[in-house]
Structure 1
Amino acid sequence: MNSPRPYSPQPGPGTALSLTERRKAATQLDIARAACELFAERGPDATTAEDIAHRAGVALRTFYRYFRNKQEAVAPLLAGGGAEWRALLAEESPGTPLAEALERAVTRSLTGPVALAEGLGWARSLLRAAQGDPALRAVWYRVNQDSEEALVPILAHLAGPSADPLQVRLLAAAATDAIRVSLEVWSTTDTPPSGPASPADLAVHSLRELTRGMSILAPGRP
């Protein structure tokens, strides 16, 4: 019997998906939404892979075709926000001040219609559930690591060929952690998804704190 394939992050900006790949991605997202709903209703411990497959309207073998376990099933939802903000960042022109480009992309992604309609609600439910589930927390951390790695080439392109690779990596780590920590803090509250102390507000503040003094944000400085 073949081992189930782990969830792989969405392709980068500009990568075209075939019809088959789009159908697979849609099925993964249906399963992810079902898992999130059940985790919010019952908690991860009281939810089985069979429950998730039934709620999603797929066979159990289809579930295991895409995911190793029930916690892994939420990865597409957790990864969606990162894919969105990386795509927005990739739209920026090389030479644009990186601090401005990062803040603009973060704000747009966390205040966009998809984020406000469902994305942030899913994130809050899953992060709350993850507090008592180490396996679910591990999925969250892995999704963020994947996002950080996917961010590096985008930042390198925007920063230009003379940018220090170490500085690019540090900036990718700081930007990813700014969003991650902001979402984790926000999820413990009942603060609305927009306005003061919202994810966008916290993320911009965190980004400024974590990147303060980075030479890559001040290209003219030695």
Structure 2
Amino acid sequence: MRSPRPYSLQAGPGVPSLTERRKAATQLDIARAACELFATHGPDGTTAEDIAHRAGVALRTFYRYFRNKQEAVAPLLAGGGAEWRNRLAEESPGTPLAEALERAVTRSLTGPVALSEGLNWTRSLLRAAEDDPALRAVWYRVNQDSEEGLVPILTHLAGPAASPLQIRLLAAAATDAIRVSLEVWSTTDTPPSGPDSPADLAVRSLRELTRGMAILA
């Protein structure tokens, strides 16, 4: 999953302040450090002190942002969901939802950051999570947050004819299509692009999970 897009350097309505941008950058540095250590030593072989040292921050800074070492990877995992929601939000109301969803998924999983860094981080973390319930819980929470973030975007795109139930079901299906695809891909050594890549698997999964949904008709 992709890292969050860089923030605008100019503050304004809805744009994070300089302090907020610095905070986000520090959190992402800590997340990358945690991911590197988890990939090398596993969660059990990594401490919060190790992560703070690798990230170049004080231990108290680590705990200012995260409750435990597993929570530290959340910014990396959440970045991909934020990116694909941003892509979906760029679609125009009235665009067929199936088309909009597939385009957003494909663009977010084949972008330069996803292919160069994000997907490899995600694969490493999902492999580490196989034997770490706390790390899996972070992954599931990130996906739940992403699903909830989809609801207002889908509501806007679908228009007033769509019911809240239809919107919620579509948000759940779309989120699970990406989640399951990434989990399956992470168990393989398949490259992040091409056949059986996350984008390929996600589009196929999305079609399977949403087949027959009235909202897409």
Aligned position for 2:53: 54
Determine helix, strand or coil for the equivalent of 1:182: helix
| RMSD, matched Cα | 1.2
Task: Check if 1:212 corresponds to 2:204.
Answer: no
Alpha-carbon deviation of 1:162? 1.9
TM-score norm. by structure 2 comes to: 0.94
Aligned position for 1:141: 140
Aligned position for 2:156: 157
1:62 and 1:106 mapped to 2: Cα distance? 35
Alpha-carbon deviation of 1:15? 3.5
Aligned position for 1:203: 202
Determine helix, strand or coil for the equivalent of 2:15: coil
Farther-moved stretch of structure 1 (184-193 vs 158-167): 158-167
Alpha-carbon deviation of 1:38? 0.2
**Match for 1:201: what amino acid?**
D
Residues 1-55 of structure 1: per-residue CA shift (max 9 Å, x gap): xxxxxxxx99xxx941111111000000000000000000100001000000000
Task: Check if 1:193 corresponds to 2:192.
Answer: yes
Determine helix, strand or coil for the equivalent of 1:129: helix
2:167 and 2:95 mapped to 1: Cα distance? 15
Q: Hey, which bits of structure 1, 4+ residues long, moved more than 2 A?
A: none
Alpha-carbon deviation of 1:199? 0.1
TM-score norm. by structure 1 comes to: 0.92
Aligned position for 2:38: 39
2:206 and 2:155 mapped to 1: Cα distance? 18
**Match for 2:33: what amino acid?**
A
The 1:133/1:82 distance shift into structure 2, 3 A limit, reads: same
Q: How does 1:1-222 map to 2 (within 5 A)?
A: 15-218=14-217
Aligned position for 1:4: none
1:19 and 1:166 mapped to 2: Cα distance? 39
- Unmatched 5+ residue regions in structure 2? 6-12
Q: Percent identity?
A: 89
2:79 and 2:167 mapped to 1: Cα distance? 23
Task: Count matched residues.
Answer: 207
Determine helix, strand or coil for the equivalent of 1:162: coil
1:206 and 1:162 mapped to 2: Cα distance? 26
**Match for 2:151: what amino acid?**
V
